[in-house]
Chains A and B, each alone.
Chain A
């Protein structure tokens, strides 16, 4: 029983990260119909830049803040330099571009940070807490709490603030939003900044547990994407549920089947969703107007 709980807890922890990555995918997808494969690199950068700033002497909270802001800025740059110039290109081209950006970021990270593993101290120490016979790291609570806080905050932003509602309107119908005076290029910039910042935050929170290196981004991107697909691409609620569900699935796979193949869980989920439930748990089937 406590074994099951252990697997569940570790699954929920990693699931929180997947939920955040999935949320990042969702925001950009809603704003621009683009699936941003570079999302995982934002997670990597969140952790990496924090490491850099921290080892340069900055206190941890400041280092984390710097990382999040820097990554958000990078997200904005990505939109300006790579996505916007290709406006109106077919989906295939945009997919190739985001993959290209993610590989480029990874290549630069390899040169700047090297291939070794980096980490920084956990926020509230390393002594595990004991719950019902299972152990959980304090950092895990930070991760889960952080994810929930982000979701609640964004929900409030999108439903309670004018700017948030403008973003929603743009994602619903870009032309109509422009016609009512919403600054759609700004909304795109904001979406990329938010998405990158959220990814970076996820990276900051989880690095003390999983550590980071230049190539962790790909796995996060793929799993976050699987989570978003599971929940229904474009649905924030789906991102949250999909992320936690995928994390738990992975934890259970690692525990009961094989830790070597735990990563396979995400890809089997992707294939399963596409075969049986293409719109995901909360997605809607769309019709094309002709």
Chain B
């Protein structure tokens, strides 16, 4: 049975996620793993938007913030179940992405980057300032998803770390599968076409604005669900989830791993999530290292780490 690149990536992902816990020295690593998966999910959205549709978003963390705070606030104020809150957050993010993207994506150039930057900062500002609602910079508690309890009742007793590790891993596999389907489909091809030559894409009948908008909305949903998962697993969230630095981290992870590769997204997320864990002094140097990584990768390894390695292995041409 010949493995398509898509199947190979997904299979590798499943195997890695399933087997990695064997090597965990302690339960703490489940939490790190879950965090990597959450970040990788958001970055997969960035791959769709930036790698395939060629648009940059500098405020994508705003959508993560919406997803996160939907889970924090909706169960408390509207009494809906946290699982539904995840969907609510995703829906709000999708609508917002559509509203912001529609007028902006008609324009050429870096305008979406700027608009998204403004949007992200406004969201972050509101989350920080509206203390009665969000508790401001101190953060807010988030209700339990309840799934772990359900499983326990059914006989499957997982620790909190284990549950979230496998749950986020599952969501990531689903997200990767959808993204890879998209890539190999007509829509995915159209996105790559418009990235290559917008004029030619229009000439063959592609509604370039609509395609970009679809990519933006889909990537917003990815970021929103990522934010929701973050809030639910920590049972706590602060406005930093929507902050500019978080947006920058997402872009850096994508750029490092390979901005047009789903496997790259996962790699980039893994590296930049692990780094602060491995170097405890990293916190001081985080901005410096992030900035340097962005610049160096863009200059020397423009496609990102994973595609560059893939190219080396395959050699020139097929």
Contact = CB atoms under 8 A, between A and B. Distances in A.
B250 to A, nearest CB: 12
A227 to B, nearest CB: 13
Contacts of B299: 82, 85-86, 97
A133 interface: no
B103 A90 contact: no
Contact of A267 (B118, B284, B285, B289): B118
What interface size band does chain B fall in? 35 or more
Contact of B291 (A105, A229, A263): A105
Interface string B293-318: 11100110010000000000000000
B125 A263 contact: yes
Contacts of B91: none
Nearest to A98: B295
B239 interface: no
A218 B244 contact: yes
Nearest to A78: B295
A106 B290 CA distance: 11
B286 A93 contact: no
Interface string B104-140: 1001111101110111011001000100000000000
Contacts of B295: 82, 97, 100-101, 104
Contacts of A99: 58, 248, 251, 291, 294
Contact of A92 (B54, B129, B285): B54
Given A89-B302, A92-B56, A290-B199, A104 B288 contact: yes
Nearest to A275: B103
Interface in A66-114: 82, 85-86, 89-93, 95-97, 99-108, 110-111
Nearest to A215: B287
Contacts of A146: none
A222 B121 CA distance: 10
A104 to B, nearest CB: 3
Binding site of A, secondary structure by majority: helix, strand, loop or mixed?
helix
Contacts of B115: 270-271, 274
A96 B251 contact: yes
B255 interface: yes
B50 interface: yes
B125 A264 contact: yes
B292 interface: yes
B56 A95 contact: yes
Given A218-B244, A270-B115, A96 B129 contact: no
B110 A274 contact: no
A92 B58 CA distance: 11
A58 interface: no
B125 A261 contact: yes
Nearest to A272: B118
A139 to B, nearest CB: 28
Nearest 6 A/B pairs, CB to CB: A107-B288, A100-B294, A104-B291, A107-B287, A103-B291, A267-B118
Interface of A: 35, 82, 85-86, 89-93, 95-97, 99-108, 110-111, 218, 222, 225-226, 229, 260-261, 263-264, 266-268, 270-271, 274-275, 278, 288, 290
17 contacts: A89-B298, A92-B50, A97-B299, A99-B248, A99-B251, A99-B291, A100-B290, A103-B290, A107-B285, A107-B289, A108-B288, A222-B117, A261-B125, A267-B119, A271-B100, A274-B111, A278-B107
Given A264-B122, A271-B100, 6 more contacts: A91-B109, A96-B56, A97-B294, A261-B129, A271-B119, A274-B114
